[in-house]
Structure formats: structure tokens, C-alpha cells
Amino acid sequence: MTINVALAGAGAFGIKHLDALKLIDDVKVISVIGRDFAKTQEVADKYGIAHVTDELAQTLKIKEVDAVILCTPTQMHASQTLACLEGGKHVQVEIPLCDVYADGEKVVQAAKASGKVAMCGHTRRFNPSHQYVNQKIKAGQFKIQQMDVQTYFFRRTNMNALGQARSWTDHLLWHHAAHTVDLFQYQTGSQVVKANAIQGPIHPALGIAMDMSIQLQAANGAICTLSLSFNNDGPLGTFFRYIGDSATYIARYDDLFNGKEEKIDVSKVAVSMNGIELQDREFIAAIREGREPNGSVAQVLPCYQVLHNLEKQLS
């Protein structure tokens, strides 16, 4: 049976999902939603999508739509996820689930009541490099003692990944730190019990901190140090160092190395090297199988509790 999907947000990340969904059998994107109708129509024409609108509510009225993927601005994530669930649709919302913890709690409650698949795009759970480490952990061959993570971008103006002007402002804590806080808890299998943060000056135009440092400790004793910056004029992205009891692993994008900088082959870890595709495959499989997905809104909510506590420290 074909799963009919709608995509909200046809920007840089929405395109990644459209490319990924093309690779999954019996999935069809039948509606695309975007604020700029002309640009959204261009995307629809390129991908052969019949229905185009600038209103999510219009798409939610389409009975044939089974599921919605939300790639919209952060500030809309929680409310739009609730709207999808109330409209009887399965939903995958891009990271972050929310930028106010109470809104995340409402989403988890609504998802439970709806019986629908509700998932958040915590892509690091799906990247083959991190899956490789996770398999070592589950096999009892590796235990994390420390994670050292650097998340570095050069974003002194409000631009997206395609170099286009953004209509909203990104956030180091509520977006980029969410990836690592969730991954740390997921890989250690242990909840954060201590968390500290400091931030640099607030940008006069963007109104956000451009630099941040976070320390975490899990209940099992593992620690994590996370450095984040929008000021970094150098190699961009997030770089992970796993220091454990039996090895050191360094993950750079989809590449994995040991502590001696010897590359580890992760090409056979999953059916693809594309984390977004693997994430979308999990979403579709969970719908078909009627089960909770890896990265469900309930599973990732503890990450947002940590971010909420850190925000209170920083304010």
C-alpha cells in the first residue's frame, strides 16, 4: 500500500527529504506547503507533486494524506505537529521538537492520545557513523566515558544552508545543542543528571548568543563537553569524539575514524549512507508496522527538559 506524504517547508532541508523519499518504495509526496507560493510551485514542478498550497490547514483536509513531514521554522514546530495529530495524520517534525519545553510536553501527550506515529528528526541516531558506535555499545564491546563535540558554523547573517535569507532565526541551544544532548543520552542509555552552560555576547541584530559551551553528566557517570559557535570561519559542521573504555572513535559527518585517524568502513551499517533517508525510512516503517519509531517525540522529550534547564541557567 502506498503511503501518501505531504511536505511542509520546501527549503534546504525540505529538499533533502524529497530526495530521500524518492528512494523509498511505495511512498508518494502528494502535497507541498510553503510560505512563498511561487518558489514552492517550482519545487512541486521539479518533483512532480500535484498539490501546492501556502496553508498547512488546507493540506490537512486532504483525506488521502497519510503523513506529514514538517521542515518549517523552529517556532512553528510544536503547534504544527499538534495540528497534524489533531488532523489525524502521522507526523515527522524536523529538529527541534519545540523551543519551549511545555509545548514539547503537549505534543507528547497529543501523540499518545492520537495513536499516530509522531517522530522528531534527531538525525544523529540514524547516521551510519553513530549507528556503528551504537552497535558496539549494544554488543557490550564499548562503553562511553566521555564525548567531546564541536558544532561550528559561520552564520553572522541570517542565511540557510543554501545561502538564502532566512525568515526566522536559528538557535545554538534549542536547535544545534539538541542533536548532541539527545545523542549523548541515546548512546549512553542514561539520562543527564548534571548540566551547565555559559554563552558569549548576544548578537546585536540577531538577538541570540553566537557562542556557547555546555557540560553534561549522565546518571551512569559519562560526561560530555559541547562547544557551539556561529562565529567559526573554518571547517563547518559537527565533529564528535567518543572516548571509551576500549577505543576512541571520531565521527566527522558520515565518516568514522579510530583514535589513530584510521578510517572505519561504515558503508555496510545500513541500507544507505544518508542519515535523512534512514530517518525517513524509519518513519515510513513505523507507520506500516504500527509501532513507535526510533526518535519518537516521547523518546526525545528528555533532551528538551535538559535544554529547558540550561535556558533557565543562561537567563
pLDDT of 82 reads: 98
Query: How many C-beta atoms surround the C-beta of residue 151 within 10 A?
Result: 23
**In the chain, what percentage of residues exceed pLDDT 70?**
96
Q: Could you give the C-alpha distances from 242 to 37, 128, 167, 217, 264, in angstroms and in order? A: 44, 15, 36, 14, 14
Task: Give the cell for residue 25.
Answer: 518504495
pLDDT of 154 reads: 87
Residue 107 has pLDDT above 60, yes or no: yes
Q: Measured between alpha carbons, how far is 278 from 129 in angstroms, rounded to an integer?
A: 12
Residues 154-179, buried b or exposed e (16+ Cβ, 10 A)? ebeeeeeeeeeeeeebbbbbbbbbbb
Residue 160 has pLDDT above 60, yes or no: no
Residue 166 has pLDDT above 80, yes or no: no
Residue 262 has pLDDT above 90, yes or no: yes
pLDDT of 169 reads: 63
pTM, entire model: 0.94
pLDDT of 298 reads: 98
Q: Are 33 and 56 in contact (CB under 8 A)?
A: yes
Query: How many C-beta atoms surround the C-beta of residue 276 within 10 A?
Result: 19
**Tens digit of each residue's pLDDT (9 = 90 or more) over 277-297:** 999 999 999 999 999 999 999
pLDDT of 207 reads: 86
Q: What domains can you pick out in the chain, each with its CATH number? A: 3-123+276-295 (3.40.50.720), 127-269 (3.30.360.10)
pLDDT of 159 reads: 62
State whether residue 253 is helix, strand or coil: coil
pLDDT of 306 reads: 98
State whether residue 72 is helix, strand or coil: coil
Q: H or E element: which one contains 229?
A: strand 223-229
Nearest to 25 by CA among 228, 313, 285, 237: 285
Q: What is the mean pLDDT of residues 223-236?
A: 94
Bond preceding residue 302 cis, omega within 30 of 0: no
pLDDT of 46 reads: 97
